[in-house]
Chain A
Amino acid sequence: MSERETMEYDVIVVGAGPAGLSFAIRLKQLKPAVTVCVIEKASTIGAQILSGAVIEPQPLDALLPGWRDNPPPICIAAGEDEFWLLSKTGGRKLPVPPGMHNRGNFIVSLGAMCAWLAPQAEALGVDVFPGFAAAESIFNEDGSVAGVRIGDMGVAKDGTHKPGYTQGIDIKAKVTVLAEGARGHLSKQLIKRFELDRDSDPQGYSIGIKELWQVPAGRVTPGKIVHSFGWPADNHTYGGSFLYHLDKDRIALGYVSGLDYSDPNYQPWEAFQQWKNHPMVKSLLEGGTVLSAGARAIVTGGYQSLPNVEMPGALLIGDTAGLLNVPKIKGTHQAIKSGMLAAEHLAVNLDPAGFDAKLRSSDVMAELKKVRNIKPAFKKGLWFGMLNAAWETVTNGASPWTLKNKADWSSLHKLGESEEPKRDYVQRDLAPRDRLAGVYFAATEHDEDQPVHLRVADTTICVTQCAEEYGNPCTRFCPASVYEIVDDAAGKRLQINAANCVHCKTCDIKDPYQIIDWVTPEGGSGPNYQNL
């Protein structure tokens, strides 16, 4: 066995999203001599980024003055805002809540924006490496984080080495910056190892499912932003939609479901499709075609769930820390700001110590504090949530209390434990027909002959305890039909169609026994989103 190859940098960034790239750019602006690399599991930058996305431009103005003269490929000035409460067949237009006014903001494709940011980082001397997955953290003898180990390439399903086997190298760095997005898999391990969440509530998540449509000419008002809540969600399920009018007769649309839902039969993907078939939405899409589709978990725990963001040798930024602002449904500005803040901190002496305090005293945290009680109150029902949101908004979050967050997986009811809402879903006829047809639009690709990257610790539970208690919710919450219970000659068993996986992380979050572990597949595998 030959010695594992090693590369050394001052700083390694895991994940080429808005947080990681902004961090790298800012650090190079401040300290050109510091060596920085960014590794990204997607085959190309932006291919596994999925967001609405309406962004606040101020952090970008601070990071890249003059960016407006050379904007990202999809960048449309926000126009009219609309906010709707939907019923099954109609809807009522409501006043737009204060946090959701978008004047001065921009509608972008966050994927395309990251593909636009990466060359700007490279121009400053950052090495950006797409197609390489950070499979594990590596540690120094004193226990501090020493960098990451890149996953091996060319390993067969049974763990043996295929002819092209290439051992992953170690990248060692003085500081490792985790910018993996919601539920980052290295972050998850490091939070546990260093007990970073000892003093915070469990993290909370939602799942966002998105499609990009090309619609017949004349239907689109570029810049128009429409959000809705109500149907198809019941009063106790946190759910809402976004619909953004782009240029060139394109519409970006999606549906977000809180992963704290309790009905074990709930299907986030089906809820999205039901919403698309609401008369108001359907009339826009009919006759059009899907250009691209995908799904991604969103971090929604906010202020009270924010873990300690520093540890010896490493720190957390952006959504993997948990900085998204839920009522605004925006995280990009927070990701960029936290990335810049981390760069300014490390520029002093490349020491993570003190970054947590710095972040907590910044306006990134002040913004989260103001809205900390809004999302948790929706657990008590839609109307209570709305009233509470109004109160928290009027008082600017001055309530002397902070509502608690619970782990999402713990909120799932057992079958028959309580009466679940009846879903009077409609017969739908817009594409895609089912989840498998939807996965096709994600252009997801995994070599079938590689180890399954969704590790289930004990699959006997699936057909015994879970089948009885929850009826295998994994077969319903996964937006890509990865999990299937098959019944064949060998008896009932769980089949994991790992090649369909779009890396959304929902299973890792929502599985009620917490035995599903999402790990990185071979570098370059996974969805290949276009302009999501």
Chain B
Amino acid sequence: MKILVGYKRVVDYNVRIQVKPDGTGVVTDGVKLSANPFDDIALEEALRLREKGVAEEVVLVGIGPADLTPHLRNGLAMGANRAIHVVTAETVQPLTAARVFLKLIEKEQPGLVILGKQAIDDDANQTGQMLAALWDRPQATFASKVEIADGKVTVTREVDAGLEVIEADLPAVITSDLRLNEPRFIKLPDIMKAKSKPIDSIEFASLGVESNDHLKTTHYAAPAKRSKGVMVKDAAELVAALKQKGLL
């Protein structure tokens, strides 16, 4: 079985996000960029399935500008067999990303697609679901445990009420939640090995995917600053203050 894994580049989770002074976006100059943490979890799960003998090949898919390559190399150093780089300088919205994956699925015929449940930049949480619908295959989102046997996948999902276990026919789309696994550390010799692993570059335009944007971002703004608090001596003073504010 072949597993396709989505690998998006985002501003690193340690970075303090700054909104551009003109409100057109967030600052990315001189800012550390990394793979979306949920995508690293997706990749780790795919690698474990390969190590268990359930899958033979793990293929990374990244959509982004030319300088995405070093990030794909990191994923290859973690252990993916090869990578596909869909090259575009534009920001890709979830529906467009899902359509790109569908095109690649037609070509690659994977038995399983694992994506992060969401990217930590736009927090959209849509691509996996949209892809399953476009592909007309089952979806199992927010996975915290994945088991494959007899052409079926059993997924434990983290839902509001607790854990839900579902079974689905393969091929299917799975999206990873935080507790699915802990991604491995990259080893130096594997970075060297990754240098010779293949990365196929495909121009976005050559895929014939519609990219008309469905969402329009009007502006970005930092959360409003909280005003200073006031210390009150006792309950009576608190009640008086609340009354003064018209809250009681």
With a cutoff of 8 Å between Cβ atoms, the chain A residues found around residue B18 in the complex are: 214, 291
Report the separation of the CA atoms of residues A9 and B144 in the bound assembly, to the nearest whole angstrom. 42
Pick the interface stretch among A18-26, A164-172, A273-281.
Answer: A164-172
Structural contact, B185 and A154, CB atoms closer than 8 A:
yes
B103 within 8 A of A: no
Within 8 A of A (CB), among B152-201: 182-189, 191-192
| B44 CB, nearest partner CB in chain A, Å | 10
Q: Is the interface of B mostly helix, strand, loop or mixed?
A: loop
Q: Chain B residue with minimal CB distance to A45?
A: B32
Residue from B32, B182, B184, B189 within 8 A of A44 (CB atoms): B32
A353 within 8 A of B: no
Structural contact, B182 and A528, CB atoms closer than 8 A:
no
Q: Chain B residue with minimal CB distance to A214?
A: B21
| B23 CB, nearest partner CB in chain A, Å | 14
Pick the interface stretch among B9-17, B125-133, B229-237.
Answer: B9-17
A348 within 8 A of B: no
Structural contact, B14 and A528, CB atoms closer than 8 A:
yes
Q: CB-defined interface of A35-60 with B at 8 Å, one 1/0 digit per residue?
A: 00000000110010000000000000
Residue from A43, A109, A169, A292 within 8 A of B187 (CB atoms): A169
Within 8 A of A (CB), among B38-72: none
Report the separation of the CA atoms of residues A154 and B16 in the bound assembly, to the nearest whole angstrom. 26
With a cutoff of 8 Å between Cβ atoms, the chain B residues found around residue A171 in the complex are: 188
B29 within 8 A of A: yes
Q: Chain B residue with minimal CB distance to A47?
A: B32
Report the separation of the CA atoms of residues A44 and B191 in the bound assembly, to the nearest whole angstrom. 15
Structural contact, A164 and B188, CB atoms closer than 8 A:
no
Structural contact, B192 and A7, CB atoms closer than 8 A:
yes
Given A7-B188, A129-B188, A169-B189, A74:B32 Cβ within 8 A: no
Structural contact, A530 and B15, CB atoms closer than 8 A:
yes
| B201 CB, nearest partner CB in chain A, Å | 19
Number of residues from A at the complex interface, CB < 8 A: 34
Q: Chain A residue with minimal CB distance to B191?
A: A129
B238 within 8 A of A: no
Report the separation of the CA atoms of residues A214 and B30 in the bound assembly, to the nearest whole angstrom. 15
Report the separation of the CA atoms of residues A164 and B16 in the bound assembly, to the nearest whole angstrom. 27
Residue from A7, A112, A249 within 8 A of B30 (CB atoms): A112
Ordered nearest first, which 5 A-B pairs have the shortest CB separation? A153-B185, A166-B185, A531-B30, A528-B14, A44-B32
In the complex, besides A73-B30, A163-B182, A445-B14, 18 extra interface pairs with C-beta distance below 8 angstroms are: A43-B12, A43-B14, A44-B12, A44-B32, A74-B30, A109-B30, A129-B188, A150-B188, A153-B185, A164-B183, A164-B184, A169-B188, A171-B188, A214-B18, A249-B21, A443-B16, A528-B14, A528-B32
The interface of chain A, by Cβ under 8 A from chain B, is 5, 7, 43-44, 47, 73-74, 109, 111-112, 115, 127, 129, 131-132, 150, 153-154, 163-164, 166, 169, 171, 214, 249, 291-292, 440-441, 443, 445, 528, 530-531
